[in-house]
Structure 1
Amino acid sequence: MIFAGRFANKIMVITGAAQGIGAGVARRAAAEGASLLLVDRSDLVKEVAAEIIAAGGTAQSHMCDLESYDGAASAIQAARDVYDRVDILINNVGGAIRMRPYAAFEPAQIDAEIRRSLMPTLYCCHAVLDVMLAQGGGTIVNLSSNATRGIRRVPYSAAKGGVNGLTQALAMEYAEHNIRVVATAPGGTSAPQRRVPRNAEGDNAQEQAWMAEAVEQVTGSAFMKRYGSLEEQIAPILFLASDEASYITGSTLPVAGGDIG
């Protein structure tokens, strides 16, 4: 369902916008009137922006690596250069790189999971604050995960627990400045095959078996015993981003078929 004009005159930055949930949020937000800056390190983000423009929407793309602070700062600066403000920031970058028992993780792999699923959100929240403070407010929507309680991905779970803590603490600290900070915690989500793999090295047979165990746990923990759809994840994100949620801050909304994470 499209709510025409819900984001009219709103400038929205969406990270991880090249595919999956991020691209879906971008398409629907554009259809609801948002002017977008789509951020990703993959050049596929240019295709998403072009698709939105062809459909009559307003979008620009920006390529950078949000696992570095300089990348996050460049994304926010790009939004300022194009639109002069940022009303809404959707922090969507993240995702488990590997799934394996914690004892099987190598130290560098632990670091990589934290860098992928916590640092882009941490950095982008910091980079956007000066803009939102100067303009008198704004909204930040972080994507967490119900995998804060799950198997075969402890470092990812820890990173998303960090996103939850960041959401609460930042919301408390900046509510007086009219800045809302909220999050959704998606569960397992059915989506088209990734064009950019989560693990560039690929999964061996043992890793595929460990992943199957994680999938079984996710579906088993959900009351509805199924994965959600992209649309079922996109709708809550955009609700929390909208003025309809103006009295919600500091909250993480589980969107996981009953599993609260």
Structure 2
Amino acid sequence: MSAAKGLLRDKVVLITGAAQGIGRETAVLAAEQGADLILADRSEIVEETAQAAQAAAQAERRELSVATVLADLETWDGAQKTAAAAGDIDVCINAVGGTIWAKPYDLYEPERIDAEIRRSLFPTLWMCRAVLPRMKERGAGTIVNVSSVATRGVNRVPYSAAKGGVNALTASLAMESAPAGVRVVATAPGGTEAPARRIRRGPGAQTEQEKAWFSEVVAQTVESSYLKRYGTLAEQAWPLVLLASDVASYINGTVLPVGGGDQG
């Protein structure tokens, strides 16, 4: 998957949730594709992503400008800090999020519902708000949000609701911001194979019942994919980079499903 070259040449790209998973993979690919980077996360291992991006740029025989920002993007203060540190950017890719628990909705504790929404909606909501004024002032910019095909799925209704909010945010903000020259788009990843998370989203399944509920999520995710498998990190990163690039300049307000046929 390396045929394209220079899709993000001369672009300054801010990527949130860059320490691991889709965010990290997208950062490395963006470096290969010519971008300079600001990488944000609340974990210090985002520095390792910066190093991996440097190595990718060196392999392409180019110099890379890369900076990191440590911030809690579940908060407005964290989003403001990140936007201020990033300065003028061409692209903001919002990759923070991920389901924490898996269980039937009527068994979710209220505080866990709140936590799921704060994890998977507010970082995107806050970052869009934080970067938008400068993009509008400059008359250009692209925001690429990471949603999920799990807007339809079992045992994670709060997460589904949060990602449904990301979809609505993407569509409405695109309509509102287009006159100012700002595009807003999103991808909706399906199940994605990735290395074990070094920073866990939550405690994980503790009981046999919790393990069974999580297994139901996996089974439904695979079954909903026409290809009957999880995707790879590269298969998620490439659509994000494509939508961030000028190749996609006439795509706006769209949520692109990347779930092997699952439309979410």
**Counterparts of 1:1-261 in structure 2 under 5 Å?**
1-2=1-2, 3-55=4-56, 56=58, 57-80=64-87, 85-199=88-202, 201-205=203-207, 206-261=209-264
TM-score, normalised relative to structure 2:
0.95
After TM superposition, give the deviation of residue 6 of structure 1 in Å.
1.9
Alpha-carbon RMSD across the aligned residues, in angstroms, is 1.0
Stretches of structure 1 lacking an aligned partner (at least 5 in a row): none
Deviation string 1:170-190 (CA, Å, 9 cap, x unpaired) is 000011111000000000011
TM-score, normalised relative to structure 1:
0.96
After TM superposition, give the deviation of residue 133 of structure 1 in Å.
1.1
Partners of 2:126 and 2:13 in 1: how far apart? Answer: 17
Partners of 1:50 and 1:182 in 2: how far apart? Answer: 28
Contact 2:120 2:163 in 1 (8 A): yes
Contact 1:52 1:58 in 2 (8 A): no
Aligned residue type for 1:159:
A
Deviation string 1:47-85 (CA, Å, 9 cap, x unpaired) is 1112322443331111000000010011111111xxxx1
Q: Give % identity.
A: 55
Partners of 1:64 and 1:115 in 2: how far apart? Answer: 15
Aligned residue type for 1:63:
L
After TM superposition, give the deviation of residue 221 of structure 1 in Å.
1.0
Give the stretch that moved more between structures: 46-55 or 86-95.
46-55
Aligned residue type for 2:249:
S
Partners of 1:128 and 1:202 in 2: how far apart? Answer: 33
Partners of 2:8 and 2:65 in 1: how far apart? Answer: 12
After TM superposition, give the deviation of residue 104 of structure 1 in Å.
1.0
Stretches of structure 2 lacking an aligned partner (at least 5 in a row): 59-63
Deviation string 1:14-46 (CA, Å, 9 cap, x unpaired) is 000000110000001001110000000011101
Partners of 2:246 and 2:259 in 1: how far apart? Answer: 24
Aligned length: 256
